[in-house]
Structure 1
């Protein structure tokens, strides 16, 4: 099946990178490029920039103008991780979730969350009986962001920002959304539903650009 968009994924290329990812890509939806080659990449034909956790954020901070220009052209940036440098427009810095007991790690899809539709809270929260693998904190989202996933206290784990730039930014305070597959539980729905959302969102941006 052909992919109806061009996605570039930056690879951290360290212990959790090419040879040791904690989550393996199972498809060929993205062209993978070493993070330090990013300044050399021509983004004109790229629709989506996918930035995973463990990325070198000090390096991305130096590339923040290129990321902003990409979004200005009505493209999509997806960031999965914990932001500690202000290289992503509109995104507040990562804040750890206040934990009193393991139930504070529970995450809940909102009504407007197609990406997490049908995904059970317990399947996201617990892995082999341990809580906290899916998300351990949140980002302060812009006031007009579309919230997809929260902790019980309402702190946003995953959100969509269509107002900070001309493009669309999806922020997920956890591991990369492309990596959820082959677990034989409801989290297997995340990857295909995420890819479907990317296709729909990109089409909406293109239609808006044509008007």
Structure 2
């Protein structure tokens, strides 16, 4: 599989369900496909791949060689969710965090990464269905903590980097590591793109994630 022969960078998202188009990032729609259609032909020419948090990890375990070869050839992979059956070399299992309140779930940067540049981490911590887009102290007052993550990666692969931590001990909630010529980004929580909010600093998250996946 020669990623360099692709006519232009492409991002795909694997989900559990019928194919559709992901429009989470305004102006930058990209195709999704049913996980069970994952194949070498599907990945041919693909620069970045997103695995949704609901993806069948037992099935992914049968595609370890395919995914590992694709990443090693230069692909960039985002893994969302709680990994209970590691399906890729270096991918650590998820561990539940013992939490009592927002302080135990606070997200903080550990290593700078372009995907999270300029993002207010309180806007990752708190989510709300309240009309409008509260920020700052008002967001903390009406928001609910824990959607970004309620656990962490139980280990760090050799050469891996903790990007963001959770809780007072900054346990690894977002990590990155190289695999051959490619890279893996693992987020131990809800789908990362779902935190792209038009009227908050998190509006930068989606475009920068797509840029990273495309190698821009």
Q: CA deviation at 1:102?
A: 2.4
Q: 1:97 to 1:183 in 2, by over 3 A?
A: farther
Structure 2 unaligned regions, length at least 5: 1-6, 129-142
Q: 1:157 to 1:119 in 2, by over 3 A?
A: same
Residues 136-193 of structure 1: CA deviation (Å, up to 9, x unaligned): 111122142122211131211111101x433111111122222333352222221122
Q: CA deviation at 1:133?
A: 0.7
1:84 aligned counterpart, secondary structure: coil
1:115 aligned counterpart, secondary structure: helix
Aligned CA-pair RMSD: 2.6
Task: Tell me the distance in 1 between the aligned counterparts of 2:17 and 2:56.
Answer: 10
Equivalenced residue count is 194
Residues 5-48 of structure 1: CA deviation (Å, up to 9, x unaligned): 1112112128xx969x9x94645443211111113744221111
Q: TM-score scaled by structure 2?
A: 0.79
Alpha carbons 1:91, 1:142 under 8 Å: kept: yes
Q: Runs of 4 or more off by more than 6 Å in structure 1?
A: none
Q: TM-score scaled by structure 1?
A: 0.80
Alpha carbons 1:89, 1:165 under 8 Å: kept: no
Structure 1 unaligned regions, length at least 5: 204-211
